[in-house]
Amino acid sequence: MNDQRIGVALLGLGNVGGGVIKLLDDNAAQIEARLGARLDVRAVVVRDPDKANRVVEVDRALLSTDALASVRRADVDIVCELIGGTTDARELVLAAIAAGKSVVTANKALLAEHWTEVFTAAERAGVDVYYEAAVCGGVPIIRVLREGLASDRVEALHGIVNGTSNYILSTMTESRRPFADILREAQDLGYAEADPTLDVGGGDAAHKLAILVNLCFGTAVDVAAIPVDGIDVVEPIDLSYADKFGYVVKPLVIARDHGDADAIEARVHPALIPASWLLADVSGAKNAIYVHSYALGPSMYYGAGAGMLPTAMSVVSDMIEISRNLAARSSGLAPPAGPSGPTPPGSSYGGRRFAPQARPRPTTPKKLVPLADVRTRYYLRFGVHDQPGVLGQLMTVLGKHHVSIAQVVQDGAPGRRDDDGPVWVVALTHEAREGDVRAALAEIAALSVVRERVRVIRIAG
C-alpha cells in the first residue's frame, strides 16, 4: 500500500470488469471513506486494446496485453482475475500469489477444479484469495458462510444458484410452453449464453456447489464426482402434475452433512419442492440459498446471481476486505477458504503472528455419498397402455425394490382410446434409496405395457 492507495491490476474488461471500473468510479467517495484509502486501478489487461464499444471507457494508458507483467508490477497489491477459463486464469492467479499479491476472482470453474492448489499456494505465500462473485454473483453467501455463520455448523443447504435455469423453469411454470422455446427466447433476450450447456446442463451449478461444500464442510470435493442432471428433463406436463400435488419445480443444488458417517451428500438437479417453501417464490433469474445450520436453524439469502453491477459489487467488496487486511498486516491469516488440507511444510500461513496451535486445523477429507445410496423422494411419470392390471404391475415392481408409493394419479379420461397416445400414471414415492428406484425403473422399462421412457424428478423437502 502506497500513500493510502491500493494498486489494483484488473485482468479482463468484459461485463464484470467494466462493472468494476464503473462501481469504483460511481462509489469512489464512499469506498474511500469506508476504507480510508483509495483503490487505484493501475493496469487493465485486455486481449485487444483497440477494441471499440467497450462497456466502459478506460484511460488507454492503463490498457495492457501483458498479463504476467501486470500481475507482477511492484505498484500492484491486488490482482483481480475476471478472464474466466481454467488455463490462463490458473497460471495468472498462481503467478500473482507467487509474486505476493492478493487475488480477487469471480472464476467458479477455477476454484471448483483447483481449490486445493490455489489455497495451498495462498497459504504458503501469506496472501488472500477472495471469491465472493464466484457463487451467486451479488448475493454475499460466501461472507455469510465464512463470517456470519463462523460459529455455527451447516447441516444442509438447498440453493437456486443458476439464474438462467431458474428463468427458464419459472417461465415454463407460468406459460407451460416447452423448454426449447423458452431457451431460445432467453438467448434472444441475452439471459442465456449462445452455448447454454453449462447453465441448463447443471455444470455451472456444480462448480458453485463444489465451492459451497468446501466452505461449509471444510473438505475439498471433486467437482467431477458431483451427480448432475440438467433441467431439460422437465416438460410442461410435469409442472402441471407438480402443481396438482402442491409442488413447484426448481433447479436445485443440495448438500447435506451426513455427520457421523464422515460423508457429504451433494447433487445438482431439478427438484419438486413444496409450494410453501420460501425457495418456491424465487423466480425469474434470481438466486437464493436456503441454509440449515445447527444454532441458527433455517436462514435464506436472496438476490441477483449475475449481471454487471451486482457481480462487480461482490468483486469490489472483496477488494475492500483485502485492503483492510493489507492495512492490518493480516493478509492470509484467516484463510477465506476455510481449512484447505494439510498445512504445507514451511508455510508462513501469514505466519507473522499466530502461534502454530492457533492456526485452523486441517479437517479430515470427507467422501461424497454415492448417488445410488442417496435417499430421497421421487416423482415418477409413466406413459403406459390403458389396460387392466397396468397400475398393479407398476406398483408390484416398485414394491419388490422397496419403493413405497405415497400418492398416485392416472389421467385416463373415460372414452379415451389407446391410439390417443400413452396414458400417464404419476406416482410420488416415500423416501427410497436411489439405487433401488433405478433398479425398479429398469425392470419397469422392459414391461410390454410401457409406452414411454419414464420421467424421474427428485423431490426435495
Element (H, E) at 424: strand 423-429
Q: Torsion angle, CA of 79/83/87/90, rounded to 10 degrees? A: 20
Instruction: Assess 109 for contact with ligand HSE (CB under 6 A).
Output: no
Select the span of 24-32, 114-122, 161-169, 241-249 touching ligand HSE (CB under 6 A).
161-169
Residue identified by cell 432467453 is 186
Pairing status of strand 450-459 against strand 375-384:
antiparallel
Binding ligand HSE by CB under 6 A: which of 77, 204, 229, 238? 204
Q: Which stretch binds ligand HSE (CB under 6 A): 92-100, 159-167, 404-412, 433-441?
A: 159-167
Helix 203-217 to helix 108-125 angle (10° resolution) is 30
Q: Is 51 a catalytic residue?
A: no
Should residue 128 be labelled a site residue for ligand HSE when binding is judged by CB under 6 A?
no
Closer to ligand HSE at the Cβ: 109 or 291?
109
One of 12, 126, 140, 163 touching ligand HSE (CB under 6 A): 163
Q: Whose Cβ is closer to ligand HSE: residue 175's or residue 197's?
A: 197
Candidate segments 144-152, 158-166, 224-232, 275-283, binder of ligand HSE by CB under 6 A: 158-166
Q: Is 132 in the site for ligand HSE (CB under 6 A)?
A: no
Amino acid letter, residue 226: I
Q: Is 414 left (phi over 0), alpha (psi -120 to 50) or beta?
A: beta
171 lies in the binding site for ligand HSE (CB under 6 A): no
**Cβ neighbours around 405 below 10 Å, total:** 16
Catalytic-labelled residue, pool 101, 208, 250, 366: 208
Of the pair 165, 376, the CB lying nearest ligand HSE is at 165
Write out the H or E segment, with its range, that includes residue 395: helix 390-400
User: Is position 138 an interface residue for ligand HSE (rule: CB under 6 A)?
Assistant: no
Instruction: Report the site for ligand HSE in 282-321 (rule: CB under 6 A).
Output: 305-306
Gap between the Cα atoms of 161 and 141, Å rounded: 11
Among positions 182-201, residues that touch ligand HSE (CB under 6 A) are 199
- Phi–psi pair at 454, nearest 5 degrees: -70, 140
Identity of the amino acid at 409: V
Cα–Cα distance, 161 to 163 (Å, whole number)? 6
Q: Which residues bind ligand HSE (CB under 6 A)?
A: 162-164, 199, 204, 305-306
- Residues with a catalytic annotation lie at 208
